[in-house]
Structure 1
Amino acid sequence: MPTLTVETVRGDGVTFVELLVTAERPHRLRVESRLDGPVWPPRAEGRPAEGWDNSGVTATVETGTTAFGFATPVEPAEPVAELVRAEPVRESELPVGMATWLDRVRERVETAERLEAVEDLPSATRAVASVGGLAAVEELAADLARDRRVLSRLDVAPDGLAARIESVELPTESFARLAQAESRRSW
């Protein structure tokens, strides 16, 4: 669940309200003013900025901290604002770039699972060749290590994919030994 931190500054008859929403994964949320007076939202070309209305803001936040703010003529009083609704963003609702990246991660995991499942030398030889050789397997292992680190920080992957990427281990050293043995045999 995201958390809301509220700061206020009063000056010249106006209260400026800073809203900091911190989330561990993308969320769609609603923050409302609890002050007894009007909300003056940020404006773009004379109109309230996207997501703002007379009582607060509805927005989608990414992982990390997102700042919002508004002004009001009312003196600050507790509570100033409240996070009234927050729901995690589903994978299908993620931005196109994020969804595309998750699709690539899923493809890399599937490839790694196929490579991990080989049980004999002929199958290993075919599997390694099918992905472009030993260098491609080593690159895949490095990509998966990076994917694990990123997913552990973002927490946007479906649970099944997160578990799969944690459990897959490419036998790159074994493939390298097999490749060396095969190259000696070719002589």
Structure 2
Amino acid sequence: MVTFDCRAERVDGVTLVTATVGDMAEPTRITVQNCLDGPVWPPRQQGVPEAGWTEDGFDGVVGPGTHALGYATPAPPADQPAALIGAEPAPEEAPADQRLDSEDAVVRELGDPSPPADAVPVGQPAQATAPAGRQPDIPAVEWDNRREDPRPAAGQPPAGSGAASARQSKQQLPDTVLQWLDTVARRIDRAERLDGADSLSAATAAVRAAGGLSGVRTVATRAETDEQMLRALARRAERLADRRAAATVPTETLSRLA
């Protein structure tokens, strides 16, 4: 039988609600409704609400096990901040956060294509706001995919130099490696924000940016695994690079023998 528990905490003028849905043996469509007298401020990713969130709460498919759903609202807390009003097995449906069937889903996965503010020429107003109908993250998410001007700036080495090659190394990595590194980098960014929060307002903003309390738990539980995998990758890559550098293929000799 699906279990449900929720609680609310008032922090710096904002009510943070955490609802836990558990004991699901298979993918399940759940509907959690906000019971407080105020709007739902859902967790956001890349400036748009995370998958499954609506203006009333959460309605989407989650995987087996236990899931924590967190959101904020300006309304004061109450004994019953949220309610589970639906839980139906959905074995044929993909979890909400794995679907790419809408514009918002693509933005969550790949990021907003709008240029960063510092890419706008001086003298022109920077379009810092998100597209219509879309609220920005709090705090704003840094731009991670900047396009570099192919012309070297004054004092910088030419494109063929070692420094330029280092800047371009990310573009030379396979897509699957890039995707994994970018995922780990997002978790590290969130961890650094949470670690650097030195006030209630900063902590509240960091929790929101991490995707709510469930996102905070994910960042915390993945920390050791992420570090071990990154260090293992670095060691393996260094050994392979040394072997590759030492292995010289005698092309001309082989050509003569053939």
Instruction: Give TM-score scaled by structure 2 length.
Output: 0.34
Higher strand share: 1
Larger of the two Rg values belongs to structure: 1
Instruction: Give TM-score scaled by structure 1 length.
Output: 0.47
